A and B are shown apart, each in its own frame.
Chain A
């Protein structure tokens, strides 16, 4: 059960919508290293214990390399749990997402990727 529903930062928000079981990442994420991404990583990990989950990245304008690493590890963790169905929503408009989202798919073959 998710205790927090929102993480707010200087230029970004991470929201959890319990009804649609979706995590919405919005804004610009440029945190410094895996440590600073800790809260968001834990937030995403704790979101669901099983069942389906949506990771909405359509409004995430920028994600730095540490952030991509954090998402990659998250996807691997979900893959290893084997009980969560992950769907990732991305946007063609957002430049960083092209290559990195492809890699995320590779990490978890059962991952559903929807690029709009």
Chain B
């Protein structure tokens, strides 16, 4: 592919060289030849003049004699003799009267060169010599004239012959010089350069170091040698560069592949993680739904077994008001009011630990158990709470649960114990729960601590040792308030708790009101305190007003 190009280059470089050399040399030799010709022409003219003069000198004696003697024959001899020279065209001797004594002419054909000859030498072809006869005493007499006319053509022919020979030789010399110069230049410079050019053009750009240029013979130490060395150095470093590039590319490819592999791995890991996240999400959503459903069930269980309005309306003798507001995450509050005949009431209030379905179930169990025991008319607090505790404890254990509950049981009778006067009713209290608030006439508040009346139900297997009972005597107008810690621990936006003190305060303020009014006052106050906050625990309130 590159060879034809080299060939074209080859021709044009050498040809250019040759053409230029030829042109220059020829131009120079042309100029030289012209100069030579000019000089030769000048020389020829001088020669002609000299020759003419010489000729006339030679015949001077005879011509003088002829003219002096008016000797026509002699004159003729002379002129014929003169015309014997090739170059002479006409010779004439003229006496001093102007008469021709002798004349010879040569007829010559005018050749094609005649015009040129005339121009070149026309002006040196006519000579005239005054014939002077010298007397013995040195005086000379003018006796006549000798005229000769040379042939320009003859002169020119000699001249031209010589000129052509010179020109021919000159041309040959020029050509020889041209050939030599071109040849030498070609050998010494053009050919090595062309060869190098061919070698360089054969270099594969992808493997420049594969074919270094061999040293040019004879040029190891000159500029061409330096050029070769430089080119080779260039090819070498270019090859190095390419090698480095290839290495770098290789490394880059390896890194890229490694990176791709790691990215793929990471992507797989992320996809797996994402899968996991999605699956966890699905599980959470399901769990959420389940818990939501559980809470609904729990709330329903709670509500199902609360004493109804109808039941409460049937209570006489004791003014009872109840309030229960379940929290959003149902808290497991329990209360119950069971009528045991003759105005006797069995009241229970309690709070199951934790939230959710389990708490609701424990509450349900408790309600059933309490009702069972009350219906069986178990009057002994210790026995009642012992049986209740064992029942709940065992069931909770079976459930694998840790739930337990506070539980206070109140046994109200609308009469006075033996020996008491002015008492309209009395309550026997057992079981551990929050304090019981008793508000007396005039708004005096008593707090009954239930810590020593029992233990949380379901916490330990045997509570007999911990159950005790106390009796609260009620005068007319006294009130008993039962609550769960949802009320005392109700928080506002700044996490301030409602508190037992505040509860007592409100109850005391309304000591004169009926149970419903006292209940409403407390509920309103608690609601006011909570503000817009959500409920975290059930609110349960029972107000008993002794009439």
Contacts and interface: CB of A to CB of B under 8 A. Distances in A.
B455 A34 contact: no
B354 interface: yes
Contact of A69 (B353, B432, B451, B466): B353
Given A65-B353, A76-B460, A106 B402 contact: no
B456 A103 contact: yes
Nearest to A65: B353
Contacts of A34: 401-402
Interface in B427-480: 432, 451, 455-456, 459-460, 466
A72 B401 CA distance: 14
Most A C-beta atoms less than 10 A away, residue of B353, B402, B456 = B402
A99 interface: yes
A107 B460 contact: yes
A7 to B, nearest CB: 19
Interface size on A, as a range, is: 10 to 19
A102 interface: yes
Nearest to A33: B402
B451 A66 contact: no
A106 B353 contact: no
A70 B354 CA distance: 13
Given A33-B402, A76-B460, A107-B460, A65 B354 contact: yes
A69 B354 CA distance: 11
Contact of A72 (B354, B432, B460, B466): B460
A70 B402 contact: yes
A72 B353 contact: no
A66 B402 contact: yes
Contact of B404 (A33, A69, A99, A106): A69
Nearest to A106: B466
Interface in B348-376: 353-354
Contacts of A99: 451
Interface in B378-425: 401-402, 404
Given A33-B402, A34-B402, A66-B353, A72 B459 contact: yes
B35 to A, nearest CB: 118
A66 B456 CA distance: 13
A115 B402 CA distance: 27
Given A33-B402, A34-B402, A106-B466, A69 B455 contact: no
B354 A106 contact: no
Interface in A63-116: 65-66, 68-70, 72, 76, 99, 102-103, 106-107
Q: Which of A66, A72, A106, A107 has the most CB of B within 10 A?
A: A106
B354 A66 contact: yes
B123 to A, nearest CB: 136
A102 B454 CA distance: 12
Nearest to B359: A65
A83 B459 CA distance: 23
Interface string A29-42: 00001100000000
B459 A106 contact: no
B463 to A, nearest CB: 10
A70 B432 CA distance: 19
A92 B359 CA distance: 30
Contacts of A102: 451
Nearest to B485: A99
Contacts of B353: 65-66, 68-69
B455 A103 contact: yes
A68 B405 CA distance: 12
B339 to A, nearest CB: 31
Nearest to A66: B402
Of residues A33, A65, A66, A70, which shows the largest number of chain B Cβ atoms within 10 Å of its Cβ?
Answer: A65
Interface string A13-24: 000000000000
Nearest to A79: B460
A72 B459 CA distance: 7
Nearest to B450: A99
B402 A69 contact: yes
Contacts of B401: 33-34
Contacts of A33: 354, 401-402
A68 B401 CA distance: 14
A57 to B, nearest CB: 18
Contacts of A76: 460
Contacts of A70: 402
A94 to B, nearest CB: 14
Contacts of A68: 353
Contacts of B456: 103
A106 B466 CA distance: 8
A67 B466 CA distance: 21
Nearest to B406: A99
A65 B353 CA distance: 6
A66 B459 CA distance: 11
A92 B184 CA distance: 121
Contacts of B354: 33, 65-66
8 contacts: A33-B401, A66-B353, A66-B354, A66-B402, A68-B353, A103-B432, A103-B459, A106-B455
Which 9 residue pairs of A and B lie closest in terms of their CB atoms, listed nearest first? A65-B353, A34-B402, A69-B402, A72-B459, A66-B402, A102-B451, A106-B466, A65-B354, A76-B460
Interface of B: 353-354, 401-402, 404, 432, 451, 455-456, 459-460, 466
Given A69-B353, A107-B455, 20 more contacts: A33-B402, A34-B401, A34-B402, A65-B404, A66-B353, A66-B354, A69-B402, A69-B404, A69-B459, A70-B402, A72-B460, A76-B460, A99-B451, A102-B451, A103-B432, A103-B455, A103-B456, A103-B459, A106-B455, A107-B460
